[in-house]
Amino acid sequence: MIRAIIVEDERPSADKMEKLLKDTEIVEIKGKFTNPVLALEFIKKVKIDAAFLDIEMPELDGFQLSNHLQNLQSWASVVFVTAYNEYAVEAFRVNALDYLMKPVDKDRLQETLHRIIQEKDIQIVSSQAQVSCFGRFKVSIGSSEVKFRTCKAAELLACLIDCRGREVGRNEIIDRLWPEYDGDRAVAHFNTTLHYVRKALLRNGVEAPIEYLRGSYRLDATAINCDAYKFMSLASASESINGLTISQYEETAALYTGDYFGDNEYGWAERNRMLFREKYIQLLIKMADYYKIAEEYSKIIELLKIGLAHEPLHSMMNYKLLEALLSVKDTIAAAKYYDIYKRGLKKEFSLQPDASFRKLMK
């Protein structure tokens, strides 16, 4: 962590800076002062890595405090934070590491923090990247979502995540993401986009877990917390459903909030998109069978309604839903869902429900 102090004579500005720094999750605020004299007394006793100083302050301005700090803790970085750009030249003359204009931009602040990390060789134990692949692809660090410079940068990271730790050649990646380009132009697009991925993660305090090995690229799957990885691991487990394991099955099903990269329409993900959907449906069916034995029909109905939102014409899910509705004597809802299924089959495939449905709905 970066050990830092904030010196700002206006309390609201000091509080805002404190929040910005805390939100990065790589800064420990050792002290926050509206009185620069008190700040000076503090740095005589407590070691810090960086000081975020206002310039125009009574009794002791930011430049004077910076000089004292350099005499007391020469290794500490000074960052001036001010609303006035006319001080910029003077700030760098006194060897400030950086100069931030109010209101402070989050991305600009991240660049400053990483300069501090690099120059002081500070070891950061960063938050693990939280990756959501179901529905909209999203990467979060702590409470902040990572913003990528381009859509292709996000897609490149998604592509590497899709490979699940497998080494993948540059040409394979290019074929997935830039099939319209050839040769040097395609390579240039790849190199630039990879740079954007690394920069976006680094800006959020995470070293991009992308390794280059023997001409191929590989994402360290253990360096991220990914909903799709967790889903596949749990859904592939051989444990049977019982009173002890049902909560694990419920947790797994809850991870599936939408199709795999479903909101992004990545063509290269279609095969795995279908695989995840089928895994999800089979999971729901197994859970429905367990709840049927336990006579918990309301849970069956709730589960299968969610499942049918993803696969409306799935024969077995429709059958089990109708069966559960009839078990609780909700014949009106059963007739409604049967009609929806019947009309859907006719419209999409020119088919009628099979004999088992007709027998059930007699």
Q: Are residues 352 and 269 both part of a single domain?
A: yes
Q: Are residues 203 and 236 both part of a single domain?
A: no
| Domain extent at residue 161 | 129-225
Res 45: pLDDT: 92
Q: Are residues 29 and 139 both part of a single domain?
A: no
Q: Where are the beta strands (DSSP E) in 134-187?
A: 138-141, 144-145, 168-169
Q: Are residues 13 and 109 both part of a single domain?
A: yes
Res 347: pLDDT: 95
Longest pairwise C-alpha distance within the chain: 91
One-letter amino acid of 279: K
Cβ atoms of 357 and 321 within 8 Å: the answer is no
Res 93: pLDDT: 67
Cβ atoms of 210 and 160 within 8 Å: the answer is yes
Question: What residue has token string 């329409």?
Answer: 265
Res 89: pLDDT: 60
Give the chain's radius of gyration (CA, Å).
28
- Pick the closest to residue 46 from 33, 60, 68, 30 (CA basis): 30
Cβ atoms of 190 and 168 within 8 Å: the answer is no
Res 92: pLDDT: 63
- CA–CA gap between residue 359 and residue 344 (Å, rounded): 19
- CA–CA gap between residue 8 and residue 82 (Å, rounded): 9
Res 82: pLDDT: 86
- CA–CA gap between residue 204 and residue 142 (Å, rounded): 9
> Domain with 24 in it: what CATH number?
3.40.50.2300
One-letter amino acid of 35: N
pTM: predicted TM-score of the whole model, two decimal places: 0.64
Counting as low any pLDDT under 70, the low residues of the chain are 87-94, 123-127, 208, 238
- CA–CA gap between residue 175 and residue 182 (Å, rounded): 9
Show contacts of 299-303: CB within 8 Å, 24+ apart: 300/324, 301/325, 301/328, 303/253
Q: Are residues 24 and 79 both part of a single domain?
A: yes
Domains: count for the chain: 3
Q: Where are the beta strands (DSSP E) in 173-296?
A: 210-213, 216-219, 224-226
Q: Are residues 90 and 141 both part of a single domain?
A: no
- CA distances (Å), 200 to each of 19, 64, 119, 206, 208, in order? 21, 36, 20, 9, 9
Give me the sheet containing 168-169, strands edge to edge: 168-169, 216-219, 210-213
Q: Are residues 249 and 350 both part of a single domain?
A: yes
Q: Are residues 210 and 236 both part of a single domain?
A: no
- CA–CA gap between residue 250 and residue 290 (Å, rounded): 12
- In three-state secondary structure terms, 167 is coil
> Among residues 90, 120, 150, which one ends one of the domains?
120
The C-alpha angle with vertex 81 and arms to 76 and 85, in degrees rounded to 5, equals 125
> Among residues 96, 120, 144, which one ends one of the domains?
120
